[in-house]
Amino acid sequence: MTMMEFCGCGFIAFGPPLAMFIFTIAQDPLRIIVFVASAFFWLLSLLLSAGWWKAVVPLQNYIEFGLVFSVLFQEAFRFLFFLMLQKAEEGLARVWQEEAGGGAVSLVSNKALMAYVAGFGFGAISGTFSLVNVLADMTGPGTVGILGNSLHFFITSSLLTLCFVLLHTVWGIIYFDGMRRKRFYQPVTVLLSHMTVSCLTLMNRTLSPVYVASLLPAYIMLALMSVWAFIIVGGSWRTIRLAIMPRGVSSYSL
């Protein structure tokens, strides 16, 4: 039973991100490099958050303190990663053009694709670190709820992890586009939405948690941000119809 729970929750949280990685990133060496570099920057933000939490001893008993500064550090390192990519784009295109058979040039020239890979790297490593200990507990002994606690803790943790992975992906697109076009309200919106969704998870710490109070707003935020990111990359009803139409159907009929 515990292994079934482990596998089910693991696939809920990491099944869609794994598919995204395989089909959109794994076949391009440059995308893998950007993905790993982005994950590394998130780890740096985690290291800084841990150091700050350790340094401010009086506030170590308040998880809200650590959460707020963790979000701030993550967004600060998202900005630093954006600056690094801006500096590295020309060199990446020159070095990888021949080795990648043109794939590297398409990534460097396609700003939305670069932002997608960077955001996905942030989200994947964030989700891994947020759920790995919970997954370890799922293997037993015993199971959740045996002492009268909520039976929905594991499934909620998995759904929230998936939500944050996808949110970081679309946040990356919105953030990078705003920085490039100097629409600074977009990075500010990303910061505020990140802080809001993260603070909502504090509601799960109560003795009788109402998980829907954090899950529902988080997925509503994901839907809104996804639509915004979709519009930023040039999406429209026409592109959706073209994507789902069977091959061989003339675009004239659209």
Amino acid at 4: M
Each residue of 7-17: pLDDT tens digit?
888 899 999 99
Residue closest to 93 by CA, chosen among 104, 78, 77, 82: 104
Q: How far apart are alpha carbons 53 and 56 in whole angstroms?
A: 6
Residue scoring higher pLDDT (99 or 130): 130
Which pLDDT does position 1 carry in this prediction?
61
Contact 197, 218 (CB under 8 A): yes
Token pair of 114, please? 């670069």
Each residue of 103-156: pLDDT tens digit?
555 666 778 889 999 999 999 999 999 888 888 777 767 666 656 666 788 888
Query: pLDDT category, 252, cuts 50, 70, 90?
Result: very low
Residue scoring higher pLDDT (52 or 141): 52
Stretch 198-221: mean pLDDT:
85
* Residue with tokens 């076949």, as numbered in its chain: 27
DSSP letter assigned to residue 59:
G
Contact 24, 134 (CB under 8 A): no
Residue closest to 13 by CA, chosen among 138, 139, 160: 160
Quick check: 236 pLDDT over 90? Answer: no
Question: DSSP labels for 63-130?
Answer: HHHHHHHHHHHHHHHHHHHHHHHHHHHHHHHHHHTTTTTTHHHHHHH-HHHHHHHHHHHHHHHHHHHH
- Which CA distances in Å does 190 have to 83, 178, 225, 228? 17, 10, 9, 11
Quick check: 71 pLDDT over 70? Answer: yes
Query: pLDDT category, 21, cuts 50, 70, 90?
Result: very high
